[in-house]
Amino acid sequence: MSSVKTAISLETNLFNQVNQLSKDLHVSRSKLFALAVKDYLKKQENKMLLAQLNAAYSDSPNGEEKTISKAMHEKHRKIVGRESW
């Protein structure tokens, strides 16, 4: 896998925290940033997927669907009513 170098600016406090964490984890700062970005991208992907699922399941039945559902319910009631339990 090829790599690309980039430069970013951080507040001093954040930079110091990154340095400390990279030392604690025994990874380079570059590796730590790469891990952080991968994690962030995965979270964003999950958010978009959740939004798509919510959109797909958010609609309510329209008038025609309600009519069909009611008719099916009535038919089911008649069939079950004839059963001897």
Q: How many residues are recorded in the chain?
A: 85
Number of domains in the chain: 1
Domain membership flag for residue 1:
no
In angstroms, what CA-CA distances link 19 with 23, 30, 33, 70, 79? 6, 10, 11, 64, 71
Q: What is the pLDDT of residue 24?
A: 98
Alpha helices in 1-85 (DSSP H): 12-25, 29-57, 63-81
Contact criterion met (CB below 8 Å) for 21 and 32? yes
Domain membership flag for residue 39:
yes
Q: What is the pLDDT of residue 61?
A: 86
Low-confidence ranges of the chain (pLDDT < 70): none
Q: What is the pLDDT of residue 82?
A: 78
DSSP category for residue 82: T
Contact criterion met (CB below 8 Å) for 19 and 10? no
Domain membership flag for residue 28:
yes
Name 29's Cβ contacts closer than 8 Å, sequence gap at least 6: 18, 19, 22
Q: Which residues span the domain enclosing 45? A: 12-81
